[in-house]
Amino acid sequence: MTNVPPTPSGLRGAVDLSSLVDRAQRPQQPGAGPAAGAAPAGAPDGAAPAGAGAPGSATAGDLTVPSLVLDVTDQTFQDVLQLSSVVPVVVDIWAEWCGPCKQLSPILEQLTAEYDGRLLLAKVDADTNPQLVQAFQAQSIPTVAAVIGGRPLGLFVGALPEAQVRDVFEQVLAAAEQNGVSGRVTVDGAAAAEPQGEPEPEPLPPHHQAAYDAIERGDYAAAVQEYKTAIAQDPNDQMAVAGLAQVSLLDRLSGRAADDIRSAAAAGPQDVEAQLAVADLDVSGGHVEDAFGRLLDLVPTVFGAEREALRVRLVEYFELVGSDDPRVVAARRRLASALY
């Protein structure tokens, strides 16, 4: 049985980055910057050229990078594909407005530093890099994936506590070693120097920090209460609203087996509780449209408390995915039609 939230061993399959790889490998246009190296004939799609790397075309063992945490864009992602032939690259798709991203990103960065060059972290701003968002099928954020030897691997969606993220990193390194990607990178000496006078990060509001600490120790119920308190004090606290939706999902799925959830849903297509649970599972795996469709199909068939439970859960999903997402706009319209 596979417990949720999912880890790499329970994935449904890697995403297809071939469109980005192809775009990066097209002949350079006049006036464009230096073209990234193309994969040799017969190499797998997305594989880096033999011996290719980042600055200086260094090989595994003497490859240097400006930092273990790299900000990448649609235009510079080819560098990540090349680096992934030396060490696995974890990809963090985030956004400035995303509350759960602010909880997860420091964990990813801390663990990347602890692994000391055995892997890299590539950060992708979802708001400014639509091609990467589409290529990684990031239907909600944060979305975390990996690239190993030019090949993508989905990891998880949403904020997880440090212990679970560390376990995912270990699985990524094991998968990389099985695929012959077991090098190490070092940070360029000049770039590695600690900046002088760097300002301390702004502390989180007290209830946000308490929620973060609770998530860190795996106590999702306590985190839910902290976010609810923050919202009660400030109903316009959108970070708390998004954080509550995310951690509530994790709390509902914690300790449950995915196989059991799907079996119960298949056995009871009109069982609202069973369908709510499998919709949670769909959302945690990034299958947002499946979750929307499943619950929206049920809304016209039930009444009273059951219909309200479906409405509340859908509104929570809308917060997770983002109100401007076209899937949310369509689902919200369909929900209003079913209710009124």
What are the residue numbers of the active site? 98, 101
Instruction: Name 131's Cβ contacts closer than 8 Å, sequence gap at least 6.
Output: 19, 20, 23, 74
CA distance 93 to 123: 6
H or E element: which one contains 70? strand 69-71
What's the token pair of residue 155? 């990891």
> Hey, which residues does 240 pair with through a beta bridge?
none
Say whether 12 sits in a helix, a strand or coil: coil
Cβ atoms of 229 and 244 closer than 8 Å: no
- Kindly report the number of other CB atoms within 10 A of residue 206's CB atom: 12
Q: What does the longest C-alpha to C-alpha distance in the chain come to?
A: 66
Contacts of 114 (CB under 8 A, 6+ apart): none
Pairing of strands 89-94, 143-148: antiparallel
* Residue 148, SS3 per DSSP: strand
Rounded to 5 degrees, what are φ and ψ at 116? 50, 55
d(CA 277, CA 329): 23
**SS3 label, residue 92:** strand
- Residues 122, 254: Cα–Cα separation, whole Å: 28
CA–CA dist 86, 181 (Å, integer): 6
